[in-house]
Amino acid sequence: MPERRTLLEELGSFAGTLLGPQLDENGRAQELRADIRRIIDEQEYQSVFQPVVDLTTRRVCGYEALTRFDDDTPPDVRFALAQRGVSSKPAVACWS
C-alpha cells in the first residue's frame, strides 16, 4: 500500500518548493552581513585613495576613497548588502 502523506506534509513540501530559493538567498545574505560586521570589527579591509584627474588640464582635481576587502567578494556586493541590512554603514569603516 502506498504511503499516504498528510495535508501538513503536503503543505510543508509545497512551501519548501515555493520558498526554498528565497530561504537560501536570505541565508547567504545573512552570512555576508555577518562577514561585513567581522571585517569592520577586525579591520580586515584597506582604504585606498585614487586620484581623479581632469583630462583637459591633466591635473589631479580630487581623490576617490575606495575600500578593498581581504577576500574575493567584490566590493559592490559587500556594500549593497551593507546598505540593506548591516547596522553600520560602509562609510564607518573609513573612520575606524
Residue 2 in domain: no
| pLDDT above 90 (res 51) | yes
Q: Rounded to the nearest 10 degrees, how much is the dihedral formed by the CA atoms of 39, 87, 33, 29?
A: -160
**Segments forming the whole domain that contains residue 39:** 7-95
Cα 36 to Cα 2: distance, rounded to the nearest angstrom: 50
| pLDDT above 70 (res 72) | yes
pTM of the model: 0.42
| pLDDT above 60 (res 96) | no
Residue 52 in domain: yes
* Residue 94 pLDDT: 47
**pLDDT over 70 percentage in the chain:** 55
* Residue 95 pLDDT: 47
**pLDDT over 90 percentage in the chain:** 17
> How is residue 24 written as a grid cell?
537560501
Residue 1 in domain: no
Total domains, the chain: 1
Q: Rounded to the nearest 10 degrees, how much is the dihedral formed by the CA atoms of 26, 32, 34, 36?
A: -140
Residue 42 in domain: yes
